[in-house]
């Protein structure tokens, strides 16, 4: 560019990077139409593998790499137009301002130019680029809009997995969620409520894939996935786990590509499935034990065995024995003896039944054995207990 344009170039930087102490003055001057440049369109070039390549490089080497990238962009752009300017705006992002006269009124030619720039840059280096293109404007103020459009097109295109994205393609993205996705979400929530987790992961991932495949704007996609995520969290009756899972929302908001979103949602799905399964298993265990305790309460007077109760609740003897001890805190035999002794204590206090009758009424077949068990738990015989009460 001509040296006489240095002031205008400085103004571009002030506007692009938001130096607020100058903005009001610049807006006033722009409104008066005082500034014009021989550039009318902005492109944003994102280096997708930038962090990986510069990971172990020194600061001096990184600066050299960045300078080489800018020079390569200017050199290749210069083959199409004499007026161009490029600079890094973020660690992995470069802005290219240029004159689009060589393309006439055809967006196709601008897109082809971007494809050529991308191809040449990737041939000359190991970097991989995504490019966003703004619209062409007649004045410097419009150029700022072009820059913002290009930035949006680049980030959106990168998320969707597209190498070259023109702003008009972003505008055509859908805004609404099809009804069939909401219906799938309702089905998923219903399955959780009914404790049916057989295909939870499959359905969850199908919903996420459907949201991505309808070409929504990235922020709408992320928001919709977040809504699904929190609908599921409301069904988890575990505050600590909900708090831990809530941390995933930051990861969802930070993803830059569809692939990253699929990866993070797959992790979320697996984590939620594990928690739901554990919670449901715990609830089922409690239900099974409660049924067992009710059965014992109803049948303690007869010769009751572990096998009979396990069969009643539909569990194997070994698993039921282990589960009973885990949930109740006592073995089956200990719990049954405590229950029978407590029942016998009530009978000893409430009526004049003899010890033998009470023994049989609470499920023991031998008065001597009953007395021995009673003394083991109460440190006295049934007769001594009756006298003391």
> Which residues 6+ apart lie within 8 Å of 191 measured at CB?
197, 199, 200, 203
Per CATH, which fold does 284-388 belong to? Arc Repressor Mutant, subunit A (1.10.10)
Which strands form 164-166's sheet, in the order they lie side by side? 84-90, 93-98, 41-47, 129-133, 164-166
CA 119/CA 109 separation, integer angstroms: 15
pLDDT given for residue 127 in this prediction? 92
Among 37, 43, 13, residue whose Cα is nearest residue 139 = 37
Residue 1 has pLDDT above 50, yes or no: no
- At what angle are helices 332-350 and 317-328 packed, to 10 degrees? 60
CA–CA separation, 211 vs 225, rounded Å? 8
**pLDDT-derived band at 8, boundaries 50, 70, 90:** low
| Percentage of the chain exceeding pLDDT 70 | 90
- Give tens-digit pLDDT for 184-198: 999 999 988 888 888
Q: Which residue has better confidence, 63 or 138?
A: 63
pLDDT > 80? residue 235: yes
Residue 13 clears pLDDT 80, i.e. is over it: no
pLDDT tier for residue 98 given thresholds of 50, 70 and 90: confident
Are the C-beta atoms of residues 20 and 26 closer than 8 Å to each other?
no
What is d(CA 19, CA 46) in angstroms, rounded to the nearest whole number?
Answer: 23
Going by C-beta distance under 8 Å and a sequence separation of 6 or more, which residues neighbour residue 160? 215, 218, 258
Task: Give the separation between CA 374 and CA 27, rounded to whole angstroms.
Answer: 95
Q: What is the mean pLDDT of residues 307-324?
A: 90
The rounded percent of the chain whose pLDDT value lies above 90 is 38
Close Cβ partners of 380 (under 8 Å, ≥ 6 residues apart): 374, 388
Give 187's contacts (C-beta < 8 A, 6+ positions apart).
203
pLDDT in tens, 160-176: 889 999 998 887 777 77
Residue 98 backbone phi and psi in degrees, to 5: -150, 170
Answer yes or no: is pLDDT of 96 > 70.
yes
d(CA 295, CA 289): 10
The pLDDT value given to residue 12? 60
pLDDT tens digits for range 32-80: 445 556 778 899 999 999 999 888 889 999 999 999 998 999 898 888 8
Give the integer Cα–Cα distance in Å for 290 and 328: 10
Residue 140 has pLDDT above 80, yes or no: no
C-alpha distances in angstroms, 232 versus 68, 134, 184? Answer: 49, 39, 13
Q: What is the pLDDT of residue 22?
A: 45
| pLDDT value for 18 | 56
The reply to whether CATH 3.30.70.270 applies to domain 3-171 is yes
| 304 backbone dihedrals φ, ψ, rounded to 5° | -95, 130
Give 315-324's long-range contacts (Cβ < 8 A, gap of 24+): 315/288, 320/288, 320/292, 323/285, 323/288, 323/289, 324/289, 324/292
Count other C-beta atoms under 10 Å from residue 141's C-beta.
16
Which residues make Cβ contacts (< 8 Å) with residue 232, sequence separation at least 6?
188, 189, 192, 204, 272
Q: What is the pTM of this model?
A: 0.66
Q: Indicate whether 16 pLDDT > 70.
A: no
- Residue range 250-270, pLDDT digits in tens: 888 889 898 999 999 999 889
- So what's the pLDDT on residue 195? 83
Q: How far apart are CA 114 and CA 98, in angstroms?
A: 11
* End-to-end CA gap in the chain: 108
Beta bridge partners of 132: 44, 165
Answer yes or no: are the C-beta atoms of 307 and 224 closer than 8 Å.
no
Average pLDDT over the chain, rounded to whole?
Answer: 85
Q: For residues 165 and 152, what is the distance between their CA atoms, to the nearest angstrom?
A: 9
pLDDT category, 349, cuts 50, 70, 90?
confident
Q: Could you give the dihedral angle defined by the CA atoms of residues 273, 276, 277 and 279, in that order, rounded to the nearest 10 degrees?
A: 160
């Amino acid at each position: 560019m001509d040296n006489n344009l240095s002031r205008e170039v400085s103004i571009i930087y002030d506007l692009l990077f938001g130096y607020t102490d100058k903005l009001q003055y610049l807006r006033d001057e722009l409104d008066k139409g005082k500034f014009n440049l021989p550039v009318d369109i902005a492109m944003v070039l994102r280096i997708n593998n930038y962090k990986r390549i510069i990971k172990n490089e020194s600061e001096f080497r990184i600066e050299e790499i960045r300078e080489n990238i800018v020079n390569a962009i200017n050199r290749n752009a210069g083959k199409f137009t004499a007026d161009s300017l490029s600079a890094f705006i973020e660690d992995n992002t470069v802005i290219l301002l240029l004159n689009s006269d060589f393309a006439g009124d055809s967006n196709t030619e601008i897109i082809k130019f971007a494809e050529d720039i991308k191809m040449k840059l990737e041939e000359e280096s190991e970097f991989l680029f995504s490019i966003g293109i703004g619209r062409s404007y007649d004045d410097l103020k419009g150029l700022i809009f072009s820059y913002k459009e290009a930035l949006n097109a680049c980030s959106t295109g990168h998320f969707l997995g597209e190498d070259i994205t023109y702003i008009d393609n972003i505008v055509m993205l859908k805004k609404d969620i099809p009804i069939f996705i909401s219906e799938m979400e309702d089905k998923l929530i219903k399955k959780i409520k009914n404790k049916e987790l057989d295909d939870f992961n499959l359905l969850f991932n199908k919903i996420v894939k459907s949201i991505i495949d309808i070409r929504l704007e990235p922020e709408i996609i992320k928001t919709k996935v977040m809504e699904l995520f929190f609908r599921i969290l409301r069904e988890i009756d575990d505050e600590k786990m909900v708090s831990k899972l809530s941390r995933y929302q930051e990861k969802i908001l930070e993803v830059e590509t569809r692939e990253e979103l699929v990866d993070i949602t797959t992790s979320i799905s697996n984590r939620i499935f594990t928690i739901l399964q554990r919670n449901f298993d715990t609830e089922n265990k409690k239900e099974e034990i409660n049924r067992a305790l009710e059965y014992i309460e109803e049948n303690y007077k007869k010769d009751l065995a572990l096998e009979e109760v396990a069969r009643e609740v539909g569990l194997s003897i070994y698993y039921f024995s282990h589960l009973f001890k885990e949930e109740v805190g006592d073995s089956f035999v200990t719990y049954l003896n405590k229950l029978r002794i407590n029942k016998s204590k009530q009978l000893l206090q409430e009526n004049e039944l003899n010890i033998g009758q009470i023994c049989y009424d609470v499920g023991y077949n031998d008065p001597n054995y009953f007395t021995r068990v009673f003394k083991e738990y109460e440190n006295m015989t049934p007769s001594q207990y009756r006298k003391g009460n």
